[in-house]
A and B are shown apart, each in its own frame.
Chain A
Amino acid sequence: MSVKSQDTPLTAKDFGSDQEVRWCPGCGDYAILSAVKKALPETGATLENTVFVSGIGCSSRFPYYMGTYGLHGIHGRAMAIATGVKLANPELQVWVVTGDGDGFSIGGNHMLHAIRRNVDINILLFNNEIYGLTKGQYSPTSPKGQRTKSSPYGSIDYPIHPISVAIGAEASFVARTVDRNLKHMGEVLKRAAEHKGTSFVEIYQNCPIFNDGAFSYATEKETKDDTTVYLEHNKPLVFGPDNARKGIRLNGLDPEVVDLGDGVREDDLLFHDEAAEQPSLAYLLSRMHHPQFPEPIGVFRAVDRPTYDAMLFEQERQAFEKQGEGTLEKLFDDGETWTVTEEEAHS
């Protein structure tokens, strides 16, 4: 429990805990843990002012492996717990670690409402498209038809698309990254930490035991250039290997994949605007799925919107300013009091 002096910069190692990490060997969670520990000191976070909150699931063991304050909650409720933490002490940097089952099945309601309120918390969705801790049932993000222990004939559930839902819930910051791209993950985490308001980050995370390779198209060297498109603000959507550059162009209201060259220039392509007032572009991007489209990686949307916590404390400040600090005497006197004197009491 040593306290570093303020002058010594914290390192990734400082953000770890002494607990043995118990994820399966090869789990994508290790990479995320490492990226988070590395990114936090770079955002100026301190151990004592950082809180990790989680629900239930493999990913939700995350807080135990951090050297910060942590609360391992119950299934699906991390967003609500985190809201309570942030509203109790707005000085804290609050992170939620959740999974596709925790955050979009049992905790779907809290996810929607945390995002719409724009509480200044950072939500990391570890999406592995499977229930891992309960040993391999399909999750709300599993593709239709997926064969799992609970869907031996193939899942007949249509999947939910977390980024689309987050945008639909009025998210002010939405991003996607992948466990295999540490550098990109680190950049996205820092952006999420810096954003004021709810930051929603979907991380494609491999479960090597129950759903191995679910995102291999997006992570393997042979395919990733063709199957992912990295979003950059004010830049055209360009992807593909150097010898066969492609882009995304708008055809009416629909995106289409086009080859660059042969009369198609970068200027003809769709330009990304993460700060667009309307969420339509971000939503359109969120609907681009493999294999019809390359899947966008990066920041879909980052807009400024007053946060719930800031507004709450502003109302409190104004109440203090107008009414002065409340006293018990004022509280108890509702303006309709009456007095029984000693004389009356004994008459």
Chain B
Amino acid sequence: MTVTSPAAKVGERPVEVIDREGMVVRFCGDSGDGMQLAGTQMTNTSAAFGNDVSTLPDFPAEIRAPAGSLAGVSGFQLNFSSNPLQTPGDEVNALIAMNPAALKANLEDLEEGGILIVNEDAFTKQNLAKAKYEENPLENDSLKSYRLFKVPVDKLNLEATKDTGLSGRAASRCRNFFALGLTYWLFGRPLDSTLKWITDKFGTKPAVADANAKALKAGYNFGDTTEMFGAKYYIPKAKLKSGTYRKLSGNQATALGLIAAAKLANQPLFYASYPITPASDILHELSRHKNYKVRTFQAEDEISAMTAIIGASFAGNMAVTGTSGPGVALKSEGLGLAVMAELPMVIVNVQRGGPSTGLPTKTEQADLNQAILGRNGEAPMCVLAAATPADCFDMALEAFRIAVEYMTPVLLLTDGYLANGSEPWRIPASNELPAIKINHPKAGDEFRPYERDEKLSRPWAVPGTPGLQHRIGGLEKKEVTGEVCYESENHQRMIDLRRKKIQGIVKTIPLVEVYGDQTDDLLVLGWGSTYGAITSAVDRCRAKGMKVSSAHLRYLDPMPGNLGDVLKSFKKVLIPEMNCGQLLHRIRSTYLIDAEGFHKVQGKPFMISEIEAKIRETLEGGL
């Protein structure tokens, strides 16, 4: 379109620069090829450049599946745009494939006419066989509907890194930086932030740093000098609210939210966890922050992590455990004890594909029933769900706010898609953060362990306080005094009180907001990570004149007080979920409305287009 865009640098080959609103780029290769790293660097650079970004890492459960195999393909998708983004994008506009298996596994997501950069050196007979290609797709016309660029990445990378003193094998590992450099040229990205990262990361290994930097520059220069590429692309800055931003993944956001909650409460944070995909990064992040009085305890198993936080909460810490669905299954008896003991704590479930071990690295939201109902006896617990990666920060804070205000365990649901995906986060000023008030009874205070305040919360008296010694546990408690009590009427009262307390949380949570019109033909109701896809789909449909609005639940139990009224203001309600209808059944049974479900349980998030099509179908189906 124009050659004057700021992306063209002085001294570079004059080339057509095409302005685009946004681009969806996906890097894919072997799980050892460094695709996650390349994607992350591209994300950081684009975010710092001023684009809105949204990412979708997609990697196999095997750490290193056999090289070149389909099982070992790892991908990283980045959507960067000059407009606000809600999702990592449906269709890929540019695919960088490092080998035949990566090409085969990812090609179906590339738009027709999309940019396809392949590492042609990897298309050997052996690799083609591993990817189950009978013919080399680069040599027939099977890729003719794409803009194919065959780049000898391996050769060029080795050439670029030959004087660094690295062995051929070590040098070949820099090829992701070569591919990244080329991508930077194509999208007019500056190299500085990645060059700085390389220096910081490999500071103690100058040869490795040198080789990676050379590979990156060589990739960039290749784009510039070869005439293979007739044009490059320019994606202007996005208009974000003013402020200071950083990029944040869901798991990082959860970790920061937990630390912030403890800091605001002026208490130590105790995080006990057993490593599990996709929750382990929360443990990694938290274990770095000892100077915030963050105490991480890598427990021997999920049950230990759960019960250790019960002990830590009893002793007065802000206690939290993080896990995924199979871990919550193991923790469920402990959750029951937490309900009975009425102690504040947070349990984070980074949901993944289930049942059982399921799809450990893939996303799903099929643990809602488990979160709300998955305990023996009548054991109500507050359940929250984050909507976007950055929202994990707010919901982690909110989880602790509710836990300490209501003396209850709070279960926070996120998922693999939120956990690993990232987006820009506007860093909040301290006065934008909520207050988290802790009120431990003091020596000399009138104290009865199960005497309740106006919120039906019991006092949180902690060991070390003279005169307030008391005993709690899993046996039914006598009202007010907290002694063990087997009386039938007391049990009924305590069951009712515990439920009423949780239901009462509704008074301190925000009402659900309708996005669109307050009354309309169709309401699309979502929860958790489907927020982006639903909102974008509703935007597109409304732009086409369809009478559709959306609402999103971040509070699952209790649900917002106005939800019933909102639902009844619409002729139809559609509930898309990455499960077989868990929220759907809850909505139908709670509000007695004939809501319709839309289910996708493939280990992948909804695409905007899928929801858009379903909205159209639902509206066309008659009201």
Q: Report yes or no: B483 in contact with A73, Cβ–Cβ below 8 A.
A: no
B484 within 8 A of A: yes
Q: Which residues of A contact B467 (CB under 8 A)?
A: 1-3, 48
Q: Report yes or no: B247 in contact with A83, Cβ–Cβ below 8 A.
A: no
A89 within 8 A of B: yes
CB distance from A123 to the nearest CB of B (A): 14
Q: Report yes or no: B270 in contact with A84, Cβ–Cβ below 8 A.
A: yes
Q: Which residues of A contact B447 (CB under 8 A)?
A: 1
Q: Report yes or no: B242 in contact with A341, Cβ–Cβ below 8 A.
A: yes
User: CB-nearest residue of chain B relative to A110?
Assistant: B304
Q: Report yes or no: A49 in contact with B243, Cβ–Cβ below 8 A.
A: no
A312–B308 alpha-carbon span in the complex (Å): 15
A334 within 8 A of B: yes
B84 within 8 A of A: no
How many inter-chain residue pairs (CB < 8 Å) link A and B? 229
Q: Which residues of B contact A153 (CB under 8 A)?
A: none
Q: Which residues of B contact A252 (CB under 8 A)?
A: none
CB distance from B374 to the nearest CB of A (A): 16
A7 within 8 A of B: no
Q: Report yes or no: B312 in contact with A85, Cβ–Cβ below 8 A.
A: yes
Q: Which residues of A contact B427 (CB under 8 A)?
A: 332-333, 337
User: CB-nearest residue of chain A relative to B444?
Assistant: A3
Q: Which residues of B contact A81 (CB under 8 A)?
A: 307-308, 310-311, 314
B35 within 8 A of A: no
Q: Mark B265-276, 1 if CB is under 8 A from A, else 0.
A: 000101010000
A54–B239 alpha-carbon span in the complex (Å): 58
User: CB-nearest residue of chain B relative to A323?
Assistant: B291
- Given the known interface contacts A88-B316, A319-B290, A342-B242, the answer about A48 and B304 at a Cβ–Cβ threshold of 8 Å is no
Q: Which residues of B contact A253 (CB under 8 A)?
A: none
Q: Mark B366-395, 1 if CB is under 8 A from A, else 0.
A: 000000000000000000000000000000
Q: Which residues of A contact B293 (CB under 8 A)?
A: 316
User: CB-nearest residue of chain B relative to A49?
Assistant: B464
Q: Report yes or no: A88 in contact with B268, Cβ–Cβ below 8 A.
A: yes
Q: Which residues of B contact A323 (CB under 8 A)?
A: 291
Q: Report yes or no: B239 in contact with A333, Cβ–Cβ below 8 A.
A: no
Contact of A71 among B319, B334, B472 (CB under 8 A): B472
Q: Mark A53-93, 1 if CB is under 8 A from B, else 0.
A: 11010000001101111111111010011111111110110
Contact of B309 among A84, A324, A326, A332 (CB under 8 A): A84
A339 within 8 A of B: yes
Q: Mark B325-362, 1 if CB is under 8 A from A, else 0.
A: 00000000110110001000000000000000000000
Q: Which residues of A contact B268 (CB under 8 A)?
A: 88
A97 within 8 A of B: no
CB distance from A19 to the nearest CB of B (A): 7
User: CB-nearest residue of chain B relative to A70?
Assistant: B471
Dominant secondary structure at the B interface: mixed
Q: Which residues of A contact B463 (CB under 8 A)?
A: 48-51, 69, 85, 89, 92
A67–B428 alpha-carbon span in the complex (Å): 46
Q: Which residues of A contact B263 (CB under 8 A)?
A: 326, 328, 331
A54–B471 alpha-carbon span in the complex (Å): 11
Q: Report yes or no: B464 in contact with A339, Cβ–Cβ below 8 A.
A: no
A158 within 8 A of B: no
Q: Which residues of A contact B541 (CB under 8 A)?
A: none
A318–B427 alpha-carbon span in the complex (Å): 28
A63–B336 alpha-carbon span in the complex (Å): 20
B side interface size, CB within 8 A: 75
Q: Which residues of A contact B443 (CB under 8 A)?
A: 3, 48
Contact of A109 among B44, B245, B304, B472 (CB under 8 A): B304
Q: Report yes or no: B244 in contact with A337, Cβ–Cβ below 8 A.
A: yes
User: CB-nearest residue of chain A relative to B256?
Assistant: A331
Q: Report yes or no: B242 in contact with A74, Cβ–Cβ below 8 A.
A: no
A307–B50 alpha-carbon span in the complex (Å): 49
Q: Report yes or no: A84 in contact with B464, Cβ–Cβ below 8 A.
A: no
B465 within 8 A of A: yes
Q: Report yes or no: A336 in contact with B44, Cβ–Cβ below 8 A.
A: yes
Q: Report yes or no: A338 in contact with B337, Cβ–Cβ below 8 A.
A: no
Contact of B242 among A56, A66, A345 (CB under 8 A): A345
Which stretch, B295-303, B573-581, B586-594, touches the partner chain A?
B295-303
User: CB-nearest residue of chain A relative to B448?
Assistant: A1
Q: Which residues of A contact B341 (CB under 8 A)?
A: 71
Q: Mark B464-498, 1 if CB is under 8 A from A, else 0.
A: 11111111111100000001100000000000000
Q: Which residues of A contact B566 (CB under 8 A)?
A: none
Q: Report yes or no: B237 in contact with A344, Cβ–Cβ below 8 A.
A: yes
What is B's interface to A at a CB cutoff of 8 Å? 44, 47-48, 50, 193, 237, 239-247, 256, 259-260, 263, 268, 270, 272, 289-293, 295, 297, 299-301, 303-305, 307-317, 319, 333-334, 336-337, 341, 427-428, 430, 433, 443-444, 447, 462-475, 483-484
**Lowest 4 CB-CB distances: which A-B pairs, in order?**
A72-B473, A84-B311, A84-B308, A70-B471
15 other A-B residue contacts (CB within 8 Å) besides A48-B467, A84-B270: A50-B463, A69-B470, A74-B334, A80-B303, A81-B308, A83-B311, A84-B272, A84-B297, A87-B297, A109-B300, A328-B260, A331-B256, A331-B260, A337-B245, A346-B242
What are 16 contact pairs spanning A and B, CB under 8 A? Answer: A19-B483, A64-B473, A71-B314, A81-B308, A83-B311, A85-B311, A87-B270, A88-B270, A92-B315, A92-B464, A319-B291, A332-B256, A332-B428, A337-B244, A338-B246, A344-B239
